[in-house]
Structure 1
Amino acid sequence: MKNFTFKHVLAATASSAILGAMMATPSYAQSNTDVIEDEIISIGTRRTARSAADTPAPVDVISGVEFSNQAVGDITDLLRNVVPSYNVNTQPISDAATIIRPANLRGLSPDNTLVLLNGKRRHKGSVISFLGGGISDGAQGVDIGVFPSLALKQVEVLRDGASSQYGSDAIAGVINFALKDASEGGMVEASWGQTYKGDGDVYKIGANVGLPLGENGFVNITGEYGETKGTVRAADRSDVLALIAAGNTAVADFETVNSYTDEFAQYWGSPDIDDEIKLFVNAGYELSENAEVYAFGNYNERTATGGFFFRNPTNRGGVYRGPTINGGPSVLVGDLDGVGTGGSCPAGIPLLDDGLTLDPTVLATVTADPNCFSFVETIPGGFVPRFGGNNTDYSIAGGMRGALGGLGYDLSASLGVSDTDFFIKNTVNASLGPDTPRDFVPGAYKQKEVGFNADFNYGVDVDGWASPLNIAFGAEYREETFDITQGDAASFALGPLVSQGFSSSSNGFGGFNSSQSNSQDFYAGYLELEADITDALTLQGAMRYSDYQTFGDSLDYKIAGLYRVNDNVTLRSTYSTGFHAPSAGQATVRNVTTQIINGSLIDQGTIPLTTNPGQLAADFLEDSFGERPTLGTEKAKNLSFGTAFSTGPISWTFDYFNIKVDDRIALSDDIAFIDALNFLAANEGVTDYDNSTVANALTDLASAGALVRGDYVGFEDLTEFRFFTNSFSTKTQGIDIVAEAPLDFGQSGQTSMKLAANYTNTVVTDLGVVAPIDANRRLALEELLPEWRGNLTVNHQQGMWRGLLRANYYGPWFDNGNGYAVGGEFLFDAEIGAEVYEGVELILGAQNFLNNYPDENPGQTGTGQLYPEAGPFGFNGGQYYVKARYTF
């Protein structure tokens, strides 16, 4: 039985409170309904009580019930199903991105989308996506997965640049999650699902309840607990099968092993999500007709565990791979009392002509000598690390809003924290030799944001205008802090065997060798004007000045208009400038990852420019390109125009967008580490060192006084390294199409149809001058996402029965990691529900019920990746699920 910890107490307390409220609250006929009749929105305009149809920029409004009537999954996947320009993938082997998955709007970086909660800026997640498939590389976005669908009244997606209205990040658009605010009624839901292959079990139990707060207020509470078991979609690796055929009985056959804890089975699939708790509270109280106080917040936690690639016992660098002996490969051997002290050890155990079998004579000599050590003695079959993290996310925001005379005001403050404690198991710190632990705590990342906002609006009558001129203005102050917590000593130790070619730090995800903290603050002021000049014409203008402590200031503006040609046709257009400032985390973080480059596994390091290795990179690049890399803000220009019209009962919207982003913040192209060390050696006058490997070069350069060895702990096995800088530029353009209609087939009941489609095309217009992005990265930016996405959803309600049928289309795309074109796919979802008793609904459904998969990876035997990692709809196949729901 699991330990009964604080998180279980919290979940039990929340559930008890909600269930108790249900018992004490009389039944209300769907009083907590999710139906949004007039689609009143809170983004895109600061005029009150405006609908999505009245704004110059397109805003999608998705009711909470649209999320509830889907398969069992987190909100990140559910949002993908209803917003075609929104993309997220499964992240099977993606380091920290497995814990907080990056998501893209309109093909841009995750941190180019501003996320709001109840109209207030949401804090970033603590994870930086180092393995983002080329599009999300280096992004630090918001953790959207924390939101439970039961807590959502509606989600508003502003498909337009809005930096002049909301500040940094709002280049691709804005997503606002609006929490339920009912003071009565509620819902309880239990669900379970499983893939067609019999894995990936997911279960959730959650509840929402609205309670009165005195006579003039409300408290709305949502709690959810769930777990998701991982999936395995690995292929047989050719190197593993060859080792088994050669008689290495310590290597497991991947085809027969389907255990998430087996030491040697490569785990390639969806991660395990354990003990996931989601708790959200939304509250408000009217002090008078013109004043209200409000507060909302959340507490979430979860443990995510994913897999890493197999470490081959014949050639994994820094652990097994030895020097060339007699023209052939060998397995590394360490001399435990030091080279030149006591008895000598061979430099390596030669491999026989098959390249798989160890020379038995030399192996016997090493095994018999306690002074000689090789990892084939203790881990003869290789190993596969399991990596994950415990993530905690919490926030609180509150304030007062109302009106003083004709002046509306909203004064608020907020605190948001995301904290991820990493762990890595079944790996080694090779430099510690036989004394290495197998499990490590590499450290933690923590993102903390504190904000203060003062927002005002005032209406001024203007003669001849159809509405008052709404003048909105305000100011914001925000501080963000990114903390790195030191890992356990063994996770970053520079052990005694490091000088003999064994790599330091926990293999796969090296520990942080010191705790660091970096903060930055900014302030901003804005002015926004909007009015109906005539009954047909609405104009909007906005301007915002932002000043970042570290990265300077930015002045952005927006002009927009809406013209009603007649009752059935509307035209709209916007033009705006925008910006995105680097986060404190991007300026601070360091990391080592293993990634597939052109079919091979390569260790890559990310190093801040402010560190000594970062300055080495800057010196090297300045010498190579004549320009020194820096890190600053990126700039954007957004243009959109569209139309909304009706053809009989069908309403249509067509919108074109064009987004140009210059000097994009991203990880630089990868630099060959040995080239940078050669440059340093030449400048320092060091000419007689062994530069055959990075480890040897570091040791010899340190001996010559050219560098401080401790600055490079964990870098011994790096092939490449990179850093955050402003490099390339892009142009992204496309169209959004939305159609909605009631359907009448002559039957009783109600049927509705909604079509949503998106075309997005990105072109890299400038590769950059300093460390320009390479062809592979450019290919990812331009081809990794399908250009066409769309879905057609039909809902039907008749008596006690309710049904949903959805067709999803994902266009062709190119998997740059494995180098092959992936064809388009149609996926179909279906759900049927029956209200078997008043307020009680039983639901049966299937997602991707035809069990479609993406095209298989032609290089699967080399990496164990059966399907493309960046697949836009995943690779788990079909899922069936059941739900029981009680609405009161």
Structure 2
Amino acid sequence: MSKNNYNPIALAIKTALCGSLLLGTGALAQDAAQTPAASDDKDVEKIVVVGSRGAPRSVGDSAVPVDVIGGEEFAKNGTSDMVSLMSANVPSFNVNAQPINDASTLIRPANLRGLPPDSTLVLVNGKRRHRAAVITFLGSGISDGSQGPDISVIPSIALKQIEVLRDGAAAQYGSDAIAGVINFRLKDASEGGSLEVKTGQHYEGDGDLRQISGNIGLPFTDNGFANLSAEYKQSDPTSRSVQRWDATDSIASGNNLIADPAQVWGSPEFKRDAKVFLNMGAEVAKNREFYLFTNWAERDVEGGFYFRHPTTRGGVYSNDGGETLLIGNLDESMGSCPTVDATQNFADLTADVNALPDHCFTFFSMLPGGFTPKFGGVVTDTAIASGVKGELDSGWFFDASMSVGRSEVEFYIKNTINPSLGADTPRSFSPGKYVQLEKAANLDFNKPIEVDALPYPLNVAGGVEYRDETFEIYAGDPASFEVGSLASQGFGIGSNGFPGFKPEDAGSFNRYSYAAYTELGAEFSDAFRMDFALRYEDFEDFGNTTNGKVTARYQLTDELALRAAASTGFRAPTIGQSSVRNVTTSFAAGLGLVDTATLPPTHPISVQKGGKPLTPEESKNFSIGTVLEVDDWYVTLDYFHIKVEDRISQTSSLDLTPEDIEALLALGVKDASSFTGVKYFTNDFDTTTQGVDLVSNYSMDLWGGRTTFSLAYNWTDTTVDSHSEYISDAKVEQLERGLPRVRGSFTLAQNYGDWEGFIRFNHFGAFYEDHLDSGVLLESEGGLPIEVGSEITTDMELTYHVNDSYDIAVGAQNIFDVYPDEHKWDGVAGSKYPTTAVMGINGGFYYARFTYKF
């Protein structure tokens, strides 16, 4: 379907929405300003628990910037994935579609304040969330090698509110909190609930969404609650592709067996996506509360992969760039095999292949149209946290808890081959799986203590924490890594595109750590307050680290306050980054598709290429800002400065010389001849990231209802201060400009009787893309650089409250069907638009939602 031939339903929804806007009917805002929008909530103060271990505070009273988003706001969106929902509500939180990006397609990496996913700490009900098992091997430079939590397993219907602390907090919460902290607070109602059905489709007629979710609150004993939430979703894939140039040339030569498009770029297919969350709590004795929350989630995601051209793909069809076919001799006693010219037209090439002796094998005879693998995985996530909190007779408040979290990713790849097995190859493989298992125990205390020198009690907090982390690699099925008889003749080894994990690569890798921390909060007057935090943490594999933080807030007038914070922080290398082994297929300038091995930094071949044991990243954070509250007008303006040293990332691909390969073979790495390069994790660069966050919200009575104007703006700039020789100029450019430096949104929200709605304008700044991770900055040297301009998209939604129980909503994201700039390299691999665009590459999406509340 052409992008201009809109579906009639989409046109009807857009007409209704635009008409409602002209009539002055709009929406309750997507709370980009993180303050109440609806008239019923205009006097409700948003309370946060992150940022300080003392008593909860309002957003305006916090000494550090915190965004608070009501859980109900996430329902008012067309998208349903938690990562996309966060990006729509927090401008400094960025994510893109990740098409054809190995495991990143299964768990998309997201960036807060221009830093990688594992620089943001994720909490659920104030407890640390475990990491995902996926390590982002292809992360568009910024996220390369990161291993962050998977927040997509959290259903929006389970959330009471989300708190986004936009400030370094490692001294308070430990490793990973360099960019900030996100705390997901679950619903805790003991009665009532809701059922929601949502459906939608892109304007192009693809990407159909089908989703049902529900929440119910139940009593648990006479003084408790059990709140259960569930969600089930399916969505179809999208395609924003053009035909590849090499496929076009082959079709022109007569090969009509090649699909059009031969390679698909777009959102993957969600075959199933099921999520369940349970949150429980009960008073078990005087001043004693038991709590427990747990989840189970499973999704099956399948996406596209690179096209294997029928005359040029190395290790399969040809090993000389397509000059001649790669032909295997199945029985050398029958004589040698003839050379076949692969540059001739399809008819002549087919005739020559058909004339080959029976003992001569080429994949052109088996798959003359080439092939495009389908890559996917089943992601399973489970967690449970439980504890007791309350107040001791001495006046100390305590919280004792334990938690266990587990993430498993079982990979599969279809429509591919193990070239070394020749005609006996299977077409589908199970390459193995990764598992991340984390256990933690915490004991926290806090108490306000009277101090003669202070007008108010000194809040004293502290605690201890023990954590145990395990990363496991499970071997794939034998065919996925088997070295077949044709390997010695130049045929590739393993399931092409994603070779299986070999038994010698499998294993369980573990480490433990423990921490002690304290925090003091002092109010020196009615206007001036400071907080001090100190944390000591010791890791089994690299030693200890001590970090501190100080914050201050001064109320200049009744309306205006100043706030500032300074801290040191760290991010420990994950056990997965230190232990993982993997092979990825990527594009290399001048070489096409190549297989690159990622090995532990302590592996002999990594050491030969400069590898060393990983050490923690270290950060210095500083922020200063203002808070202005005048009646119904709320404004915050904050500047932040984050310097990170020894950042961990993958090296650029390091070419394996014949001598390197011989060394690998001598070490018993049988498939070394399949690799053209090697990567490993290393502490290899320093950066400085600075930026400004502006949040403004104003509410007033207008048009017979309550109107809210919300503005959220973020400017973030990253500079690579120094880097090793393993970081290319193109990767430096990705790190500095791979995300839009400017993002913002302006929302007009309105309710009027039984109607409510919103219109939101989203601005996405310009950015740079090293297309296909070619690794070369200059076009003249074989790189594929793309400069992408800024864009503005528009979202709208209209809701009708039929009665107290039933709501019907229709809406559209990117209602005017805006796309990022098309690029001139689209025919290289068939991607029509820059694949890393934060605004997305799918265009407009319309949806409808039905909600029943009880």
Q: Does 1:865 align with 2:831?
A: yes
Q: Does 1:308 align with 2:298?
A: no
* Distance in structure 1 (CA, Å) of the matches to 2:116 and 2:634: 31
Q: Does 1:52 align with 2:53?
A: no
Q: Does 1:761 align with 2:749?
A: no
* Distance in structure 1 (CA, Å) of the matches to 2:41 and 2:198: 19
Q: Where in structure 2 are the equivalents of 1:55-454 lying within 5 Å? A: 55-254=62-261, 265-323=262-320, 329-337=323-331, 339=332, 341-346=333-338, 348-352=339-343, 359=349, 362-366=352-356, 369-405=357-393, 406-454=395-443
* Distance in structure 1 (CA, Å) of the matches to 2:414 and 2:63: 52
Match of 2:6 in 1: none
Q: Is the 8 A contact 1:734 1:759 kept in 2?
A: yes
The DSSP-based 3-state class of the residue aligned with 1:790 is: strand
Task: Kindly state the Cα deviation for residue 248 of structure 1 after the two structures are TM-superposed.
Answer: 1.2
* Aligned match for 1:470, one of 459, 468, 476: 459
Structure 2 CA distance for partners of 1:564 and 1:599, relative to 1, 3 Å: farther
* Distance in structure 2 (CA, Å) of the matches to 1:34 and 1:201: 34
Task: Kindly state the Cα deviation for residue 187 of structure 1 after the two structures are TM-superposed.
Answer: 1.0
Q: Where in structure 2 are the equivalents of 1:808-827 lying within 5 Å? A: 808-817=762-771, 818-827=784-793
* Distance in structure 2 (CA, Å) of the matches to 1:111 and 1:474: 24
What amino acid maps onto 2:765 in structure 1? G
With 789-798 and 309-318 compared, the bigger mean Cα shift is at 789-798
Q: Is the 8 A contact 1:473 1:525 kept in 2?
A: yes
Match of 1:842 in 2: 808
Q: Is the 8 A contact 2:586 2:596 kept in 1?
A: no
Structure 2 CA distance for partners of 1:477 and 1:576, relative to 1, 3 Å: same
Deviation digits for residues 373-408 of structure 1 (CA, Å, limit 9, x no counterpart): 000110011000000001110100000000103111
What amino acid maps onto 2:716 in structure 1? T
Give the aligned CA root-mean-square deviation in angstroms.
1.8
What amino acid maps onto 1:587 in structure 2? S
The DSSP-based 3-state class of the residue aligned with 2:355 is: helix
Deviation digits for residues 108-159 of structure 1 (CA, Å, limit 9, x no counterpart): 0100000000000000011011110000000001101111111000000000
Q: Is the 8 A contact 1:98 1:271 kept in 2?
A: yes
What amino acid maps onto 1:858 in structure 2? K
Deviation digits for residues 15-49 of structure 1 (CA, Å, limit 9, x no counterpart): xxxxxxxxxxxxxxxxxx99992211111011123
Match of 2:11 in 1: none
Deviation digits for residues 571-591 of structure 1 (CA, Å, limit 9, x no counterpart): 011110000011111111112
Match of 2:683 in 1: 726
Deviation digits for residues 593-648 of structure 1 (CA, Å, limit 9, x no counterpart): 2223458634242433366xx32232243xxxxxx533111100000000111356
What amino acid maps onto 1:383 in structure 2? F
Q: Is the 8 A contact 2:601 2:607 kept in 1?
A: no
Match of 1:856 in 2: 822
Task: Kindly state the Cα deviation for residue 712 of structure 1 after the two structures are TM-superposed.
Answer: 4.3
The DSSP-based 3-state class of the residue aligned with 2:673 is: coil
The DSSP-based 3-state class of the residue aligned with 1:280 is: strand
Structure 2 CA distance for partners of 1:35 and 1:80, relative to 1, 3 Å: farther
* Distance in structure 1 (CA, Å) of the matches to 2:833 and 2:418: 31
Match of 1:801 in 2: 755
What amino acid maps onto 1:331 in structure 2? L
Which 5+ residue runs of structure 1 have no aligned equivalent?
A: 1-32, 255-264, 622-627, 681-696
Q: Is the 8 A contact 2:573 2:615 kept in 1?
A: yes
Q: Is the 8 A contact 1:849 1:878 kept in 2?
A: yes
Q: Where in structure 2 are the equivalents of 1:596-615 lying within 5 Å? A: 596-598=587-589, 601-609=592-600, 614-615=603-604
Moved segments of 4+, more than 6 Å: 33-36
Match of 1:460 in 2: 449
Task: Kindly state the Cα deviation for residue 459 of structure 1 after the two structures are TM-superposed.
Answer: 1.6
Q: Is the 8 A contact 1:604 1:722 kept in 2?
A: no
Give the TM-score taking structure 1 as reference length: 0.88
Higher relative contact order (CA 8 A, sep 6+): 2
With 33-42 and 408-417 compared, the bigger mean Cα shift is at 33-42
Q: Is the 8 A contact 2:580 2:600 kept in 1?
A: no
Match of 1:885 in 2: 851
Match of 2:26 in 1: none
Match of 1:737 in 2: 694
Structure 2 CA distance for partners of 1:141 and 1:494, relative to 1, 3 Å: same
Structure 2 CA distance for partners of 1:814 and 1:358, relative to 1, 3 Å: farther
* Aligned match for 1:776, one of 722, 726, 730: 730
Q: Is the 8 A contact 1:455 1:473 kept in 2?
A: yes
Q: Where in structure 2 are the equivalents of 1:517-556 lying within 5 Å? A: 517-556=508-547
Q: Is the 8 A contact 1:85 1:105 kept in 2?
A: yes
Q: Is the 8 A contact 1:72 1:192 kept in 2?
A: no
* Distance in structure 2 (CA, Å) of the matches to 1:602 and 1:36: 59
* Distance in structure 2 (CA, Å) of the matches to 1:572 and 1:97: 38
Give the share of equivalent positions with the same residue, in percent: 45
Q: Is the 8 A contact 1:52 1:60 kept in 2?
A: yes
* Distance in structure 2 (CA, Å) of the matches to 1:508 and 1:323: 19
Task: Kindly state the Cα deviation for residue 288 of structure 1 after the two structures are TM-superposed.
Answer: 3.2
Task: Kindly state the Cα deviation for residue 99 of structure 1 after the two structures are TM-superposed.
Answer: 0.6
Task: Kindly state the Cα deviation for residue 750 of structure 1 after the two structures are TM-superposed.
Answer: 1.0
* Distance in structure 1 (CA, Å) of the matches to 2:801 and 2:494: 57
* Distance in structure 2 (CA, Å) of the matches to 1:510 and 1:466: 66
Q: Is the 8 A contact 1:34 1:153 kept in 2?
A: no
The DSSP-based 3-state class of the residue aligned with 1:490 is: helix
Q: Is the 8 A contact 1:596 1:602 kept in 2?
A: yes
Give the TM-score taking structure 2 as reference length: 0.91
Structure 2 CA distance for partners of 1:99 and 1:171, relative to 1, 3 Å: same
With 160-169 and 357-366 compared, the bigger mean Cα shift is at 357-366
* Aligned match for 1:557, one of 548, 567, 580: 548
Q: Is the 8 A contact 1:444 1:486 kept in 2?
A: yes
Structure 2 CA distance for partners of 1:89 and 1:323, relative to 1, 3 Å: closer
The DSSP-based 3-state class of the residue aligned with 1:223 is: strand
Deviation digits for residues 315-338 of structure 1 (CA, Å, limit 9, x no counterpart): 1011011348xxx8101000113x
